[in-house]
Chain A
Amino acid sequence: MNFLGGIAVQKEKTKMPLQDPKQRANNFNEVALGYSKEDAINEAKRCLQCSNPACKDGCPVRVDIPKFIDLIAKGDFAAAAKKVKEKNSLPAICGRVCPQEEQCEAECIVGNKNQPVAIGRLERFVADYIREQEEVKEAIQDKGQVAVVGAGPAGLTAAADLAKLGYQVTLFEAFHKAGGVLTYGIPEFRLPKDIVQDEVEKIEQLGVEINYNQVIGKIKSLDALFAEGYQAVFVSTGAGLPRFLGIEGENLNGVYSANEFLTRVNLMKAYQFPKYKTPVYTGKKVAVVGAGNVAMDAARTALRLGAEESVIVYRRSREEMPARAEEIEHAQEEGVKFNLLNNPTKILGNDDGFVTGMECIKMELGEFDQSGRRRPIPIEGSEWSLDVDQVIMAIGQSPNPILINDTPEIETTDRGTIKVDEKTGMTTKEGVFAGGDIVTGAATVIQAMGAGKKVAQTIDQYITEQNN
């Protein structure tokens, strides 16, 4: 304890109860168990209630953080949840997967000397608290019709906000379930699918209609949507085209994109095979190439599927790893190994076409590059081979091309992302807006939600102007 203005201050965040690492490495249940009421009140009391709160500015959807924390401190959890929901339609999800350490918590004044207030954990607490008891009322929808393409974080947020603004919204989703990366990508043990489905149902209760199994650009074009009476379209189709390294052996059996591996396990529930019929190839020694959150998810999933060894292979050093510190820690606790400063050069296979190893080359860090990180340089002649029978590529993804290819009027950048007007989010096609990973390239859930929120407002302005 130290004293600040005469009040005792707890230096560290109230601890998050976790499932034991040894136990959890063998199951798909959620790792972080969530605060109790006492934990939440205790943590909420660490907030200084600054007169000029910086945490709000760190939040892409501008949740009134001090206010909702104050309500928790007073024990009024329902009111706290309501306060969060004013700005954030998916708090149970954000409380779990937002990188708070780079956003709200990075700005927290308490964090100057001690650990910042655990804003994410508190957000999760109130969202879980209200989950079962909340009733959502359908808004009056008389302002017009909007189509949203892609039911991931950006699309769900835009749909919810537009419905609340008084629009009749139809959400078109390619898969048989909504949620996008929340459903197919992030594993059950980090984000239970019941929670995602619950948030989706609440958005449906607002009056949003979800059309599943519809790939816009294939089953119908954007022009067809306008012909059906939609006055604007929001495109949030995400970054769904996995990248590979382009090295020899990448098409061997046992090499997966992280997307495929995680989709088989999460969306298709291959971890319950053979009750669920979608198989997933499970190696004894698994290498995951890359060091972002997706790589951590894949490495931890491999362990849970029974891998004896799960290794992250990354060409830079620990400092440059893009995953959240918490995810790296959790992975390490569970037994994931790290083979840093190594880059794969070739995947080795047997005569039947299955993976038997991966050749890597050692790397060293050179000068700083444009990304502000030190450039990894191969050390000549340092090739060695890693004994693995499965390789998962988690090195990022490119924008999905289906809708773009079907709509030549939509201009794209060199990276294949959709060009939008920065102020309005409108694409080069009149009435078509875009946001989320399809505009930014692969980014975070909350950034996509922020874009969905912002564009919902500009779509409202656009339609209002059109009607006048």
Chain B
Amino acid sequence: MYQILEKEELAPKIKKFEVEAPQIAAKAEPGHFLIVRVDEFAERIPLTIADYDREQGSITIIIQEVGFSSRQICDLEAGDSFLDVVGPLGKPIETADYERVLCVAGGLGAAPLYPKVKSLANEGVELITILGAQNEEILILEEELEELSNELYITTDDGSKGRKGFVTDQLGEILAEDDQFDLVIAIGPMIMMKFVSELTKEYDIDIMVSLNSLMVDGTGMCGGCRVTVGGETKFSCVDGPAFDGHLVDFDEQLQRSKIYQEKEEKVKEHEFFGGDCRAKREN
């Protein structure tokens, strides 16, 4: 079960996996997420579904190596299997009958946004997409998004491709000229979603963001993914992960995402320099 059918390197440290999971593929919708576990010692990691193929019975995930657990996943090869995959979890990103939607993807946020862009394009919605990353090397899903969008804008922090600057610079420019959008969907780093939300507020345009909160079970049981939305505490796993960006307390989320920073250092020490290193355990 949960065998990796295909692995592709999208950028250095960003890998795409197609995973056999027919039951999940049958029920997956854009916005749903999974919880995966690599082995008996691993964390349960929440990952948004980046695509699904109901016929082939597979789901796609895209993951960037940032710490030990994500690196462990990135080290898997085609033919390997995940120990556990749970899903589809959360609520799909719900959209009404829209005519024009503006999508903003920051970095790895392009992955969870992609299936929604695909479904909106299928519905015939006019789509303007902004895709941003730190540099050209780690821009992902550019071709795919280009094909589905009426217009695609690229921004990079260092100017190695497209416009030099942040997605918000491009967004500001677009909205200044034309703000007739039914909705903006923004997925990416918390700080990006915060500024995109603020900008859309100035133009009074609805915005949907998707949070990647820390969690354990993904079914409402732990409450670790608490988020304040419109002054009320919600659980990202069962009430989200998509929320109205105008109501999310992003500063609180930014702080909450840092709770285990020290622990992450400990894992690195243990795995890469410590006595009980990974190589030893596997032997």
Contacts and interface: CB of A to CB of B under 8 A. Distances in A.
A402 interface: yes
Given A219-B24, A273-B263, A251 B252 contact: yes
B65 to A, nearest CB: 15
A175 B44 CA distance: 10
A-B pairs with lowest CB-CB distance, top 3: A353-B255, A279-B263, A260-B222
Given A219-B24, A219-B88, A260-B223, 14 more contacts: A175-B217, A213-B84, A213-B85, A242-B221, A253-B255, A256-B224, A257-B223, A259-B222, A273-B266, A274-B271, A277-B42, A277-B43, A279-B260, A402-B219
B119 interface: no
A246 B232 CA distance: 9
Contacts of A279: 260, 263-264, 266-267
Interface in A210-258: 212-215, 218-220, 240-242, 244, 246, 250-254, 256-257
A252 B219 CA distance: 21
A212 B83 CA distance: 11
Interface string B46-64: 0000000000000000000
B259 A253 contact: yes
Contacts of A242: 221-223
A47 to B, nearest CB: 41
A260 B216 contact: yes
Size category of the binding interface on chain A: 35 or more
Given A176-B83, A251-B226, A274 B220 contact: no
Given A212-B84, A279-B260, A281-B260, A174 B224 contact: no
Interface in A347-363: 352-353
Contact of B86 (A184, A213, A250, A251): A213
Contact of A219 (B37, B87, B255): B87
Contacts of A260: 216, 221-224
B259 A218 contact: no
Contacts of A440: none
B68 interface: yes
A268 B259 contact: no
A275 interface: yes
Question: Which DSSP category, helix, strand, loop or mixed, fits chain A's interface?
Answer: loop
A240 B24 contact: no
Interface in A268-294: 268, 273-279, 281
Contact of B219 (A220, A240, A281): A240
B247 to A, nearest CB: 15
Contact of A278 (B24, B44, B221, B238): B44
A60 interface: no
Q: Which of B85, B216, B222, B276 has the largest count of A CB atoms less than 10 A from its CB?
A: B222
17 contacts: A176-B84, A219-B87, A220-B27, A250-B233, A252-B255, A256-B224, A257-B224, A259-B222, A263-B222, A264-B222, A273-B263, A274-B266, A274-B269, A275-B270, A278-B216, A353-B256, A401-B238
B248 to A, nearest CB: 12
Size category of the binding interface on chain B: 35 or more
Nearest to A280: B263
Interface of A: 174-176, 184, 212-215, 218-220, 240-242, 244, 246, 250-254, 256-257, 259-260, 263-264, 267-268, 273-279, 281, 352-353, 400-402
A257 B222 contact: yes
Nearest to B68: A277
A338 B103 CA distance: 53
Contacts of B217: 174-175, 263
A278 B43 contact: yes
A219 B23 CA distance: 7
A218 B87 contact: yes
B134 interface: no
Q: Which of A212, A213, A254, A279 has the largest count of B CB atoms less than 10 A from its CB?
A: A213
Contacts of A184: 221
A240 to B, nearest CB: 4
Nearest to A260: B222
B3 interface: no
A257 B216 CA distance: 12
B183 to A, nearest CB: 24
Nearest to B256: A253
